[in-house]
């Protein structure tokens, strides 16, 4: 059991720092965003599992050689039954830490989800009052403002794509189709769930620098996926033109003092734009399969080490 706990700890360290840093710098991710997203999710899940698992297995080590045996031993210790072997104070500490971390991650996810849902509901309520449904598309509304923006608001009552009057006036039919296809991809592929998961991961462990890296990388990748969906309907120049219209409108609005607040947004989308301007070839299928296998392994290894640490004995 001890060996298993050390291996889990080593895996946790690798997945906490070098692996995310390497993945965020990798260039192949732009060529296959879907595969990259799967890998990111595997790293985050396996990382959490390893962190909790390392402490859990280490804390249970004196109680038995396999997880089941050790849990039985823990039961006996907790209820003062005969045949219980002692746990040192450090072991109890490790077990508490494991339980706390697990609870912390789950609670942060729930709290973040609640907060996001509340903000969405409030925004949606005002949107319903202030916008008009678009004549051409039932799930789209138009907001009366001259700054060109487009965004989608996910929700249980029915996701909605929002375009401003400024954007509708500035784009032609093709350009609008690009925007709508892009936003619809976000909604259909449920990117908001991914963003929520990584946002809560970052909120839970803000001191882990890679949690911020992961969130930024995931945001980039889902934009690439949505761009791909738009490219199935329009050509790259059309999409780029729409992006430019929306982006420059935003930039102008933020630089002029007046009705809209002047705090600039941090995000720059250079990777995404470069990808549209000079698309590389897609990642060859064997490489994609290889990455997916690595992701699967990443999930299986900590699970195995957790469940059957005696295998290493």
Interacting residues toward other proteins by CB under 8 A: 112, 116, 119-120, 123, 125-127, 129-130, 143-145, 147, 149-154, 162, 164, 179, 182-183, 186, 191-192, 195-196, 199, 219, 222, 237, 240-244, 246-248, 250-251, 253-254, 259-270, 273, 277
Q: For residue 66, give the DSSP letter.
A: S
CA distance 90 to 109: 29
Q: How many CA atoms lie within 13 A of 151 on its CB side?
A: 13
Please report where in the chains the tokens 């970052």 appear, as a residue: 202
Task: State which residue, 127 or 287, has the beta carbon closest to other proteins.
Answer: 127
- Residue 222 CB, shortest distance to other proteins, in Å, is 8
- Residue 169 CB, shortest distance to other proteins, in Å, is 15
Four-point Cα dihedral 270, 271, 273, 276, nearest 10? 170
Task: State which residue, 53 or 175, has the beta carbon closest to other proteins.
Answer: 175
Contact 162, 241 (CB under 8 A): no
- Residue 212 CB, shortest distance to other proteins, in Å, is 11
- Residue 147 CB, shortest distance to other proteins, in Å, is 6
CA distance 57 to 91: 10
- Residue 168 CB, shortest distance to other proteins, in Å, is 13
Task: State which residue, 144 or 172, has the beta carbon closest to other proteins.
Answer: 144
Q: For residue 64, give the DSSP letter.
A: -
Q: Which two tokens stand for residue 159?
A: 């996701």
**Phi-psi region for residue 158, left (φ > 0), alpha (ψ -120 to 50) or beta?**
left
- Residue 41 CB, shortest distance to other proteins, in Å, is 17
Distances (CA, A) of 158 to 82, 120, 155, 180, 196: 58, 12, 5, 16, 18
Task: State which residue, 112 or 210, has the beta carbon closest to other proteins.
Answer: 112
Task: State which residue, 266 or 281, has the beta carbon closest to other proteins.
Answer: 266
Q: For residue 280, give the DSSP letter.
A: P
Burial of 301: CB neighbours in 10 Å, binned 0-12, 13-18, 19+: middle
Task: State which residue, 64 or 159, has the beta carbon closest to other proteins.
Answer: 159
- Residue 275 CB, shortest distance to other proteins, in Å, is 13
Reported in sequence order, the residue ranges of 111-266 that DSSP labels E, i.e. its strands, are 131-133, 140-143, 150-153, 160-164
- Residue 129 CB, shortest distance to other proteins, in Å, is 6
Distances (CA, A) of 37 to 44, 77, 108, 175: 11, 43, 22, 28
Task: State which residue, 104 or 125, has the beta carbon closest to other proteins.
Answer: 125
Task: State which residue, 97 or 236, has the beta carbon closest to other proteins.
Answer: 236
């Amino acid at each position: 059991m001890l060996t298993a706990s050390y291996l889990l700890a080593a895996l946790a360290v690798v997945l906490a720092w070098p692996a995310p840093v390497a993945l965020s710098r990798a260039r192949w991710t732009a060529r296959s965003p879907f595969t990259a997203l799967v890998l990111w999710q595997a790293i985050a899940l396996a990382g959490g599992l390893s962190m909790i698992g390392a402490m859990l297995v280490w804390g249970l080590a004196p109680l038995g050689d396999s997880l089941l045996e050790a849990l039985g031993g823990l039961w006996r210790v907790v209820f003062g039954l005969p045949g219980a072997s002692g746990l040192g104070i450090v072991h109890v500490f490790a077990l508490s830490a494991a339980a706390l971390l697990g609870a912390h991650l789950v609670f942060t996810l729930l709290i973040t989800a609640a907060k996001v849902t509340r903000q969405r509901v409030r925004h949606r309520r005002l949107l319903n009052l202030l916008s008009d449904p678009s004549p051409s598309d039932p799930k789209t509304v138009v907001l009366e403002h001259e700054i060109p923006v487009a965004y989608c608001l996910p929700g249980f009552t029915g996701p909605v794509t929002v375009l401003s009057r400024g954007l509708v006036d500035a784009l032609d039919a093709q350009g609008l189709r690009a925007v709508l296809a892009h936003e619809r991809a976000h909604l259909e592929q449920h990117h908001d769930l991914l963003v929520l998961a990584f946002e809560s991961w970052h909120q839970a462990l803000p001191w882990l620098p890679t949690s911020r890296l992961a969130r930024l990388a995931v945001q980039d990748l889902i934009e690439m996926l949505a761009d791909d969906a738009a490219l199935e309907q329009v050509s790259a120049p059309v999409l780029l033109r729409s992006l430019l219209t929306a982006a420059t409108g935003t930039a102008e609005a933020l630089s002029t003092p007046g009705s809209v607040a002047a705090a600039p947004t941090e995000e720059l989308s250079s990777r995404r734009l470069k990808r549209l301007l000079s698309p590389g070839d897609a990642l060859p299928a064997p490489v994609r399969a290889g990455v997916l296998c690595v992701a699967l392994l990443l999930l299986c290894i900590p699970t195995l080490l957790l469940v059957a640490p005696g295998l290493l004995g």
